[in-house]
Amino acid sequence: MHTIRENWKLMFALLLGLSLTTAVGCGSAEKADADKADKAAEAPAADASQEVEEEWVVDPKIGMTKEEIVTMYRGEPDSKQTASDGGEVWSYHMNAGQQWIPWNFGYRPEIDTITFGPDGKVTSFVLGR
């Protein structure tokens, strides 16, 4: 039968062994990631056609047409409403995908709202990003 002192020694040895095993496992994963990064740095540069498109930072401007806005935002708006003056109000939900991340309690919607006049040109806009 083990005494309390011997039990503590066994528990300490077990915890020490587990922590060393975990540290070695983490170190090898970091080394593998570093090796992948080194190989990626050595690889030749990708063609311009294969480059990942960066997020745009262009803001809408007063007087832009609907076609220019659709091109700039890369698609149709998430919602369209008819304004009282005969124009339209378009809304783009900029970070819609983030609302589906589990346990993302800090999510705040970023909605860009663009108002068009009856002539189809931007009269005002509000950026939610």
- Helices and strands of the chain, counted as H and E runs: 2, 4
pTM exceeding the 0.75 threshold for the entire prediction: no
Q: What b/e string do you get for 80-119 counting C-beta neighbours within 10 Å, with b at 16 or more?
A: eeeeeeebbbbbbebeeeeeeeeeeeeeeeebbbbbbbee
Task: Answer yes or no: is 49 within a domain.
Answer: no
Residues 78, 114 within the same domain: yes
Range of 89's domain? 66-126
Q: Is residue 92 part of a domain?
A: yes
Give pLDDT tens digits for 26-57. 555 555 555 555 555 555 554 544 555 556 65
- Count structural domains, the chain: 2
With H, G, I as helix, E, B as strand and everything else as coil, classify residue 78: coil
**Together in a domain, 76 and 114:** yes
Q: Give the CATH number for residue 75.
A: 3.30.1450.10
Does residue 95 belong to any structural domain of this protein? yes
C-alpha dist (Å) from residue 3 to 11, 13, 26, 93, 116 = 12, 15, 35, 65, 82
User: Which of 1-5, 32-36, 107-111 shows the lowest per-residue confidence on average (mean pLDDT)?
Assistant: 32-36
Indicate the range of 49-63, 71-85, 91-105, 110-124 predicted with least confidence.
49-63
Asked if residue 100 has pLDDT above 70, the reply is yes
Chain position carrying tokens 């806009």:
125
Percent above pLDDT 70 for the chain? 66
Backbone φ and ψ for 115, nearest 5 degrees, come out as -110, 130
Residue 60 in any domain: the answer is no
70 and 122, same domain (yes or no): yes
The single-letter code of the amino acid at 73 is Y
**In which band, very low, low, confident or very high, does the pLDDT at 95 lie, cut at 50, 70 and 90?**
very high
Rounded distance, CA 79 to CA 50, Å?
Answer: 32
